């Protein structure tokens, strides 16, 4: 039990063993319970209180109102209209996926997914985005991140940038994680990595100034090809044509 949980439990226990007159403020919870505390106030999305000279807090979303020891609710009500806005989810490259996701993760176990493309052009492959992603990777500002699931398992991740400076920052992040890779001679710039659990391609188009980092799970791709006998390059062409 952490300190905050202990203090919360202790305050609830005070409903039974401590007289109300020993406290200055009351915190009324949405579950119908009341916390008798020495002092209570709201800061941001938390309601803070002092209990037995110790400071703790509970989420504002769990609180109906605060009353002073005199029973006067004036200037102490906690508004229900203040929505909780979660922080954006940071993105970090790793060798088996992106951020908190790894190859093979199931759709049902991934928070905040929203369907992007029900018809990806490949049988049994669905594309999703996560609105809570912070569209930044290292120093690179991203335009989008697309997660493709095959048979309900994370199969590929495609990251897009726009502008040369953002592409260079994305390239630095890829080099830091995967090494320098193998450069391919094209009209723009492209690199491939094929070692480890992932196939990776980084590409920049000078014509439209789009950068793309594409990663794919090797093991799932092997199963995908056995089941559908489809070339992986068709999927790359497809997602690039839709950007």
pLDDT at 117: 66
pLDDT at 1: 45
pLDDT at 18: 42
CATH number of the 3-68 domain: 2.30.30
CATH number of the 93-242 domain: 3.40.1000
3-state secondary structure of 144: strand
Q: Which of 77, 70, 56 has the alpha carbon at shortest distance from 25?
A: 70
Maximum separation of any 2 CA atoms in the chain, in Å: 80
The list of the chain residues with pLDDT below 70 reads 1-23, 69-86, 117-118, 120, 186-187, 228-243
Strand 136-137 relative to strand 189-193, pairing: unpaired
pLDDT at 53: 72
Same fold, 3-68 and 93-242: no
3-state secondary structure of 169: helix
Q: What CA–CA distance (Å, rounded) separates 172 from 183?
A: 14
Residue spans of the domains in the chain: they are: 3-68, 93-242
pLDDT tens for residues 150-207? 999 999 999 999 999 999 999 999 999 999 999 987 667 999 999 899 999 999 998 8
pLDDT at 229: 62
Q: What CA–CA distance (Å, rounded) separates 232 from 126?
A: 15
Return the ∠ at Cα 54 (arms to 50 and 57), rounded to 5°. Answer: 60
pLDDT at 6: 47
3-state secondary structure of 65: strand
Q: In this structure, are residues 61 and 84 in contact, taking their beta carbons and an 8 Å threshold?
A: yes
Q: Pull the structure tokens for residue 180.
A: 């320098």
φ and ψ at residue 215, rounded to 5 degrees: -130, 145
Q: In this structure, are residues 58 and 43 in contact, taking their beta carbons and an 8 Å threshold?
A: no
């Amino acid at each position: 039990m952490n300190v905050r949980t202990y203090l919360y439990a202790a305050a609830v226990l005070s409903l039974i063993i401590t007289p109300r007159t020993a406290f200055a403020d009351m915190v009324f919870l949405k579950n119908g319970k009341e916390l008798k505390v020495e002092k209570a106030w709201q800061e941001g999305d938390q309601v803070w209180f002092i209990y037995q000279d110790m400071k703790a807090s509970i989420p504002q979303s769990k609180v109906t109102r605060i009353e002073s020891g005199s029973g006067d609710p004036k200037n102490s009500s906690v508004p229900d209209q203040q929505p909780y806005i979660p922080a954006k989810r940071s993105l970090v490259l790793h060798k088996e996926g992106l951020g908190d996701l790894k190859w093979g993760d199931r759709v049902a176990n991934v928070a905040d997914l929203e369907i992007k493309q029900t018809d990806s052009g490949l049988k049994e492959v669905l594309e999703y985005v996560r609105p809570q992603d912070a569209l930044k990777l290292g120093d690179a500002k991203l335009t989008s991140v697309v997660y493709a699931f095959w048979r309900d398992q994370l199969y590929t991740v495609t990251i897009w940038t726009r502008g040369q400076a953002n592409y260079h920052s994305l390239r630095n992040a890829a080099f830091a994680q995967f090494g320098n890779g193998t450069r391919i001679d094209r009209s723009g710039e492209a690199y491939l990595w094929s070692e480890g659990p992932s196939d990776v391609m980084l590409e920049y188009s000078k014509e439209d100034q789009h950068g793309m980092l594409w990663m794919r799970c090797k093991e799932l791709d092997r199963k995908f090809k056995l089941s559908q006998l489809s070339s992986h390059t068709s999927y790359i062409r497809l997602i690039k044509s839709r950007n």
